[in-house]
Amino acid sequence: MPDVLRVLVVEDDPVAAEAHRTYVDRLPGFACLGIAGTAARALQVLSQQPVDLVLLDMNLPDGHGLDVVRRMRAVGNQTDVVMVTAAREVAAVQAAARIGVVQYVLKPFAFETLRDRLSAYARQRRAAEAGQVVADQDEVDRLLHPATVSSVPKGLAGSVLDRVVTLLGNREGWTAEEIATSLGTSRITARRYLEHLADQGQALRTQRYDGRSGRPKVEYSWVSES
């Protein structure tokens, strides 16, 4: 296994593509070698240079992400693929699994979500290339359905963080009170998650004036994904 896994980001939205590039480059052992905005460009890059992993969007302007994988396999390219997509249909998830996609990550997501899944992928790849064998059925199940241990800051839950990210991605501008209402948590708890995302550069803080109290509220908007 190479010291650094070379990753190709396939994403047609420039903001999302740059966010994914930044995420990959923040991960030890991974490096983004480039961005492809179309299926044709992705296949061209894959035919011209070595790639260890593809982060692949499902819906591209000139084709479907799963068709990209099928065309890769048809010419003998066995590069691993992680789908990074907003497609939530069960049929899409099952189709991706049938053609060998190794992970399926839903947009929008926090950096920690991608980090944990790519780290799990790297561990499995190292184990496979080292010739390790499984000890029992439980280990087989863990390999087929890898559990990712969240490494979000102490006191925050990965599942709640992903829910906050989803809310931010679905609408422009949320206050801590509004997030708290949607989550069923306290305003203080909601603000901790929002402040974490803002500190990571994934959420933007602005001021909202309601014209009544005269005191502005802090509003949070998602900036790393579209």
Task: For 196-205, write each residue's pLDDT tens digit.
Answer: 888 877 788 8
Report the relative pairing of strands 5-10 and 53-56 from DSSP bridges.
parallel
pLDDT at position 1: 63
Task: For 75-124, write each residue's pLDDT tens digit.
Answer: 999 999 999 988 888 888 899 989 989 989 888 788 888 888 898 888 88
- Give 8 or 159, the one with higher predicted confidence: 8
What is the distance between the alpha carbons of residues 29 and 18, in angstroms, rounded to a whole number? 19
pLDDT band per the 50, 70, 90 thresholds, residue 58: very high
Q: What is the DSSP letter of 153?
A: P
pLDDT at position 2: 74
pLDDT band per the 50, 70, 90 thresholds, residue 225: very low
Lowest mean pLDDT among 6-10, 39-43, 84-88, 148-152: 148-152
What is the distance between the alpha carbons of residues 15 and 225, in angstroms, rounded to a whole number? 7
Task: For 160-193, write each residue's pLDDT tens digit.
Answer: 888 888 888 888 889 999 999 999 999 999 999 9
CA neighbor of 2 nearest in space, from 151, 141, 149, 129: 129
What is the distance between the alpha carbons of residues 43 and 91, in angstroms, rounded to a whole number? 24
Task: For 18-46, write each residue's pLDDT tens digit.
Answer: 989 999 999 999 999 999 999 999 999 99
Residue that is written with structure tokens 């961005």 in the block: 35
Alpha helices in the chain (DSSP H): 14-26, 39-48, 65-74, 90-98, 111-129, 137-144, 158-170, 176-183, 187-199
pLDDT band per the 50, 70, 90 thresholds, residue 209: confident
Quote the pTM value.
Answer: 0.68
pLDDT at 68 over 90: yes
Using an 8 Å Cβ cutoff, are 221 and 171 in contact? Answer: no
Is domain 5-141 given the CATH code 3.40.50.2300 in the classification?
A: yes
**Cis peptide upstream of residue 108 (ω within 30 degrees of 0):** yes
Tell me the pLDDT of the chain averaged across its residues. Answer: 86
pLDDT at 148 over 60: no
pLDDT at position 149: 45
pLDDT at position 171: 83
DSSP, collapsed to helix, strand or coil, labels residue 106 as: strand
The CATH class of 158-222 is mainly alpha
pLDDT at position 37: 96
pLDDT band per the 50, 70, 90 thresholds, residue 226: very low
Q: Where are the domains of the chain?
A: 5-141, 158-222
What is the distance between the alpha carbons of residues 58 and 10, in angstroms, rounded to a whole number? 9
